[in-house]
Structure 1
Amino acid sequence: MGNLKIYPQKLQGEVKIPPSKSMAHRAVICAALGDGASRVTNIDYSDDIIATIDAMSSLGAVITKKEEYLEVTGIKSTANKVNDQIKEERTIDCNESGSTLRFLVPIAALFDGVNRFVGRGNLGKRPLDTYYNIFNEQGIKYTHKEGILDLKTEGKLKAGEFRLKGNISSQFITGLLFTLPLLDGDSKIIITTQLESKGYIDLTLSAMKDFGIDVINKDYEEFIIKGNQTYKSRDYRVEGDYSQAAFFLSADALLNNVVVNDLKTDSLQGDKEVMDILERMGVSFKNKNNGLIGEVDNNLKATIIDGSQCPDIIPVISLAAALSEGTTEIINAGRLRIKECDRLAAVTSELNKLGAKIIEKEDGLIIEGVTKLKGDVEVWSHKDHRIAMTLAIASTVCDSPIILKDYECVSKSYPEFWKDFKNVGGSFDEWNMGK
């Protein structure tokens, strides 16, 4: 992995935000489970999306990557019909994508044979007990290894009643929502605790509805799913990604001047919360050149930020909080510890190197605002795309250059980030640590 020397430079210009990774995962899966040929447009081939494309291909979908769109011929699966292309044993490589893993585990249980899930990085540390409990109840065979992802499953999922905790990860609920409509029988998902990340469930239900699947949502406490439904093929455009827009909207909060394009104003994405949080801190958003820009009249103000519904934007919001007046508290953010890295620890370590005053708590952060950040230090992405992009935005308010280690990890979600950063005035050089 390489290193960048990033110079303190204000950003100005326009950025077309890449398509939503969350919606792209869902569109690929719905199309691949469909009954014909679909076309998915405005898709970015990040590492995570490629993982989902390859995973659905391993289950029998025929997916062709074009430069401007994705062609998907669906598996045409139901509980009573197994695609002839499905092998008795298949390997599903999830790379480092938690969404791919947790979405695909129940989907793969639609088919006969053995499924082997493999991956890299911290993926093996992400808990899967929710599925193990279901496997035990339904007699589905499985083996797994501790600390690394090497999970084997054998057996088909059966319709019924599924009781899930809502404070672990909405990805388990999404995985079952994708799968249960295809089973021979009706099912119910009962949420036994308060549901976090409701926005992600909204995205799942929206995508499923677009592809012809009906689910009854009873106030996020129960989901009623009729069996023997069919995903319908269609053309689908993926909307822009608020979790990626958060970096440039936060840059605007730090007195940069970036117009962010291709955001859906009525989006269901939970990470749209970035706008509400920044507005509470003193940012006003305006339309400019058919895009969105944030403006600040006075100093940013501290606030309380609940990370339970929008964990992916917490790293860059922590940066804005570090330069706000007063003390910001981030609460209900414990799940950040089991992302690509321990993001609470990484944010604390790396921003404090730059002069921030952050105290790490078990499930959150206490951030005492400072007036400026320093440079002339080496910081590390922790090989986490969101930490790398946060540090890039931090460089714009440092008083001297910083050295960022392992910058390429942005390919996980935003392969064109450094190109976009440079196009709006970001300045950096490859850096040889031996010099």
Structure 2
Amino acid sequence: MRGTAQWLPASKSISNRALIINALAGGTSDLHNLSDANDTQLMLRLVNSNDRVIDVEDAGTTMRFLTAYFSVTRQAKVLTGTQRMKERPIALLVDALRALGVEIEYLEKDGYPPHEIKSFAGQKVQHISIRGDVSSQYISALMMIAPTLPQGLTLVLTGKIGSRPYIEMTVALMKHFGAQCTFVDNKIVVPHQAYRPAEFTVESDWSAASYWFSFAALAQDAEILLPRLSLDSLQGDSKIVEIMKTLGVQAVLENGLLKLTKTAHQKELHWDFTHCPDLAQTVAVICAVKGVTGHFTGLESLRIKETDRIAALQNELRKIGADLREDDTEHWTLIPTTSALPTSAFFNTYKDHRMAMAFAPLAMLMDVELEKPEVTRKSYPNFWKDIISFNVPATEV
């Protein structure tokens, strides 16, 4: 398998943060290479929307960031989304915003969208404690609005801190746009200050790149080139380079491109996904078919994603003779298949873009059919075009 990924998307995590901060800075920054992922295109359209009802569809980041943004900019809005979005909790963020002085009401089920932002009379508190183990997006949402608060904001993160690189990404972007922010141990301190417009270029998405590591791992031979990736990335999912050394893929930068080639793989992988949970599905599938026993921690947040990703993985891995065993509330064991793979299989995607892309590389080994493959538009709209350009066999989409 040889070639270059022509349409590797820009990072939607970075793009969505840049769009919120730019809006808070007055909306005049020059932003380059924004992601074409549906989540980012929604953010681009909705952040300046005059509509009373804001439909974020299935975009969790967009829901959380816009809830905070509309609150401090005193915009009366109703935020809603798909049925799955209405099942994804938002209480921690709403509770924090209410403590700050925002009036928000739930319209259906307490703790879940849809919700209505009514008013923001003024800042009531300067310190907020919030759990660090549920979603870093709640924390980033509060961080980005903090400079606009008259008293600034100090956040104390309680318990285990998950997805720490995403919080550090937010710190870095805030600083790029002129706002000072310190993140030490479990405390984030943001003084009152003004953002400044700035030129900014978004790097390629490491989450999207991870699927090409998977293709390389499962191909008989591989030389895959990936554009616009930095080994010093702000993105937590750049850890895929380290993970894939164990699973048989070497990554080196050559002439501005990241080159993936095959190497020998080990028989066991121990990994904590606390700070890169979006890689878990991809890694689980690779381990399953390469005979690698996985010892995983940090999967807790997967239960509140686009679907319950732990249950979804368990269901679909069994179709190829593998399993993800929950040893206790913090530890999982990936049991690889010990028998020959079926010649073909149909995989459900659960309306989850990462389920579709995690299982697609199995086409290197068997005939693969995927339910609703169009779900990849959420983060990687041109995924199937890249698949075709590499002449990947036997994938029915």
- The two structures have a TM-score, normalised by structure 1, of 0.83
RMSD value over aligned CA atoms?
2.2
* One-letter code aligned to 1:225: V
Report sequence identity in percent: 28
Structure 1 distance, partners of 2:350, 2:93, is 29
Alignment partners' CA distance in 1, 2:19 and 2:136 = 18
Counterpart code for 1:14: T
Query: 2:39 matched to which residue of 1?
Result: 48
3-state SS of 1:96 partner: coil
Structure-1 separation of matches of 2:27 and 2:376: 34
- Of the three residues 5, 13, 26, the one matched with 1:35 is 26
User: Aligned letter for 1:161?
Assistant: H
Superposition deviation, residue 102 in structure 1: 1.2
Is 2:135 aligned against 1:169? yes
Looking at structure 2, the residues matched to 128 and 141 of structure 1 have their Cα atoms a distance apart, in angstroms, of 15
Cα pair distance change 1:324/1:376, threshold 3 Å? closer
Residue 153 of structure 1 aligns with which residue?
117
Match of 2:57 among 78, 82, 95: 95
Does the Cα contact within 8 Å between 1:322 and 1:358 map onto a contact in 2? no
Where in structure 1 are there 5+ consecutive unaligned residues? 1-10, 60-88
Partner residue in 1 for 2:5: 15
What is the rounded CA distance, in whole Å, between the counterparts of 1:363 and 1:409 in structure 2?
A: 29
CA displacement at 1:324 relative to structure 2: 3.4
Aligned-partner Cα distance in 2 for 1:310–1:113: 33
Q: Report how far residue 30 of structure 1 moved.
A: 1.4
CA deviation after TM superposition for structure 1 residue 141, in Å: 2.6
Residue 275 of structure 1 and its aligned partner are, at CA, apart by 1.1
Counterpart check, 1:116 vs 2:78: yes
Q: Which amino acid aligns with 1:206?
A: A
State the AA in 1 paired with 2:5: V
1:380 pairs with 2:348: yes
Q: CA shift at 1:428, angstroms?
A: 5.4
User: How many angstroms apart in 2 are the aligned matches of 1:325 and 1:378?
Assistant: 21
Map 1:386-425 onto structure 2 (within 5 A): 386-398=354-366, 401-425=367-391
The CA deviation at 1:288 is 4.4
1:196 to 152, 162, 179: 162
What is residue 134 of structure 1 aligned with on the other side?
96
| Mapped partners of 2:78, 2:331: distance in 1 | 35
Higher relative contact order (CA 8 A, sep 6+): 1
Partner of 1:323: 289
2:17 & 2:203 partners in 1: Cα distance?
12
C-alpha displacement of 1:135: 4.5
CA contact (8 A) 2:104 2:118 kept: yes
Q: Mean alpha-carbon deviation: is it higher for 339-348 or for 288-297?
A: 288-297
Between the aligned partners of 1:300 and 1:231, the Cα distance in structure 2 is 48
Deviations 1:213-234 (A, max 9, x none): 1112223x1111111x222122
Question: TM-score w.r.t. structure 2 length?
Answer: 0.91
Distance 1:325 1:427, change over 3 A: closer
Gap regions ≥5 residues in structure 2: none
Task: Give the superposition deviation at 1:376.
Answer: 2.4
The answer for the alignment partner of 2:335 in structure 1 is: 368
The separation in 2 between residues aligned to 1:418 and 1:138, in whole angstroms, is 44
Contact 1:35 1:230 (C-alpha < 8 Å) held by counterparts:
no
Moved more, 252-261 or 95-104: 252-261
| 1:99, distance to aligned residue in structure 2 (A) | 0.7
Shift of 1:247: 0.4
1:121 to 1:311, Cα distance in 2 relative to 1, 3 A: farther
